[in-house]
Structure 1
Amino acid sequence: MNLMTKQLFIRFLGIAFIFTLGMIAIWACLNTWLSGNIWEGMTVSKSALTVEYCEFNHTEKFFHQSMNTYSNLAYFFFGILILQIAQYDYKNKENTIQNRLEKFPLLSALMGFCFIYLSLGSAFFHASLTYLGQRVDMNGTYSISISLLGIGLYHLLHRIDFSETTKKLWIVGLLVIIIAFLPISLMISSSKLLPVMILLLMLLIAIHYFQFRKQKSFILAILGFVLMFIAVKIRTLDVQKINCDPHSFYQGHAVWHLLTAMSSFCSYAFFRFSKIQPL
């Protein structure tokens, strides 16, 4: 059966869950066996110096901020899920009824790897609270935004039939942009750059929806931005230390990780799945 069934998608979810449980076990062992001394000598981030987030900084532990570190596994979960979808699309790329993103599995693969990159990068930052970790964390965040914008722009050019060579060049171009954002992020504040990227993605999703509204899910389109809106509000409250308990199991920034992971996946799923499919 060429079309992805709900049963197969549930299987992919299960596999992603198992991989995530494995990562939880690995991270828990590292946090038990290693101490905070491993980060000594590395430049402390501005975020740590200004106590940007509510969670208490346990400098003696390998994970300085446990909840803000473990919560990054939400990105890992969706990354593994998307990589499975990419692999499935690659195996079925000769299917003539695939939609535009299904016919470009490399783009889905890039999206999946960016999720995992952010998961590891943000975990590195919250575990160490170092300047290097903060740079990798932000670049991981931009990598997901850039990949989603690349997917949106690819769909905006739906009248152009991309050759396999063009698709590879598209991926290389996105990778170059992601790398270029390492210095760019130092020149432009994320408080200005990220909202612009989110608005551009919103515009691309709106255009694509109105062009193909019979095939695309309005719920996924809206859900991606509703979740992002809620995430931003919760992150703002966390930074402002409103209802803040540094030692609580609940941490607003950890919820931000969960909601932004879900939001980004919803935006990806809007392009990847069509109403005409069983899923």
Structure 2
Amino acid sequence: MNKQLFFRFLGIAFIYTFGMIAIWACLNTWLSGSVWNGMTLSKSALTVEYCEFNNSEAFFHQSMNTYSNLAYFFFGILVFQIAQFDFRNKENNTQNKLEKFPLLSVLMSCCFIYLSFGSAFFHASLTYLGQRVDMNGTYSISIALLGIGWYHLLHKIEFSEIIKKLWFGVLILIIIAFLPLSLIISSSKLLPFMILLLLISIAIHYIQFRQEKSFILAILGFVLMFIAVKIRTLDVQKINCDPHSLYQGHAIWHLLTAMSSFCSYAFFRFSKIQPLQTKL
């Protein structure tokens, strides 16, 4: 995939994202917070977990924390276009395992979009149901990336189309299974463990194919996640907190984790050597 085509995909993702901003802005103008009446409040709402002011009269109770989830939507649209490209050019993609398994890119794009709407639902409503969907969306991104990472660790095995579909299906079942699992194991323990597993798989794959893989993307994914965790922690601790400011630490967390997740995906998807023949 050449740079011109990638920038074209970026432009299309921006257009869709701006369109979604307009839709969400209209919904936030036309609807009120009464839409969420009757739904059980989340523990986060009761403890005032995040800095941003809870405007219960508005449809989006936390506007910045809601709109910032469109960062996930943007990368979801971008990755979906890459998946479509890979489907069209699968016979030419002989240098990269992920290019030959576009269903994993489809899963990644769906997880991005799932998290975008799930987390927006939570911050707009601050309900228990929203919090559960938000957390499951977060886990889905990690599961998709781990599925991609483990697939690459089995680089000596050539997956048949049936096995690829089974791999895809199992990852979906795992994401569904995490809905009840997240109630049993604390996210403060489970999520860091999953991130650690991802970093290990990235490190192993880089060592195996260092001439083909980008060290910058590998490190950038980790650095962005590290900064995101620090900013989220400051937001939860209410350090330099202004509830009515346009700047909200948790909103920055959304942006940075979206970028970190895409960098980790891009590490596996893009090689320094790309096929010459492609179908647009």
Fold conserved between structures, TM > 0.5 = yes
> 1:32-55 deviations in whole A, cap 9, x for unaligned?
000000000000000000000000
1: distance between equivalents of 2:166 and 2:95? 21
Q: 1:9 and 2:6 equivalent?
A: yes
User: What are the superposed Cα offsets for residues 134-167 of structure 1, whole Å, 9 maximum, x if unpaired?
Assistant: 0000000000000000000000001110000000
Aligned partners of 1:136 and 1:218: how far apart in 2? 33
Partner of 1:38: 35
Following the alignment from structure 2 to structure 1, what is the Cα–Cα distance between the partners of residues 100 and 275? 17
Counterpart of 2:111 (choices 102, 109, 114) is: 114
Cα distance between partner residues in 2 of 1:195 and 1:113: 22
Superposed, 1:61-72 pairs within 5 Å as: 61-72=58-69
Aligned residue in 2 for 1:81:
78
Query: Which residue is 2:157 aligned to?
Result: 160
Asked if 1:149 corresponds to 2:156, the answer is: no
CA distance in 2, matches of 1:245, 1:11: 38
Counterpart residue identity of residue 239, structure 1 = V
Contact 2:94/2:275 (CA < 8 Å) preserved in 1? no
Distance in 1 separating the partners of 2:272 and 2:62: 41
- Between the aligned partners of 1:232 and 1:160, the Cα distance in structure 2 is 36
What residue identity is the alignment partner of 1:97? T
- Please tell me whether residue 229 in structure 1 is matched to residue 226 in structure 2: yes
- 1:277: Cα distance to partner? 2.6
RMSD: 1.0
Between the aligned residues of both structures, percent identity stands at 84
- Cα displacement (A) at 1:278: 8.3
Corresponding residue for residue 49 of structure 1: 46
Q: Is 1:209 aligned to residue 199 of structure 2?
A: no
The DSSP-based 3-state class of the residue aligned with 1:186 is: coil
CA distance in 2, matches of 1:96, 1:55: 46
Number of the residue aligned with 2:215: 218
- Range that drifts further, 135-144 or 89-98: 89-98
Q: Tell me how far 1:98 sits from its aligned partner.
A: 3.9
The answer to whether the 8 A contact 2:41-2:128 is kept is yes
Q: How does 1:122-201 map to 2 (within 5 A)?
A: 122-201=119-198
Report what 2:96 is aligned to. Answer: 99
Q: Is the alpha carbon distance of 1:269 and 1:96 closer, same or farther for their aligned partners in structure 2, counting shifts above 3 Å? A: closer
What does the per-residue CA deviation read over 1:203-234, in whole Å, with 9 as the maximum and x for residues that have no partner?
00000000000000000000000000000000
Q: Deviations over 1:46-85 (max 9, x none)?
A: 0000000000000000000000000000000000000000
Q: TM-score, normalised by structure 2?
A: 0.98
TM-fit CA distance, 1:276 = 1.2
Cα shift readout 1:118-147 (whole Å, capped 9, x = no counterpart): 000000000000000000000000000000
* 8 Å Cα contact 2:92/2:275 also seen in 1: no
User: Aligned residue pairs: how many?
Assistant: 276
Would the aligned equivalents of 1:47 and 1:129 in 2 still touch at CA under 8 Å?
A: yes
**How far apart are 1:96 and its partner, in Å?**
4.7
In the alignment, which of 21, 26, 36 is matched to residue 23 of structure 2? 26
Give the match for residue 248 of structure 2. 251
Rounded to whole Å, the distance in 2 between the matches of 1:222 and 1:78 is 19
| Offset of residue 90 of structure 1 | 0.3
Alignment match of 2:239 (pick from 238, 242, 264):
242
Q: Is the CA contact 1:6–1:278 (under 8 Å) kept in the aligned structure 2?
A: no
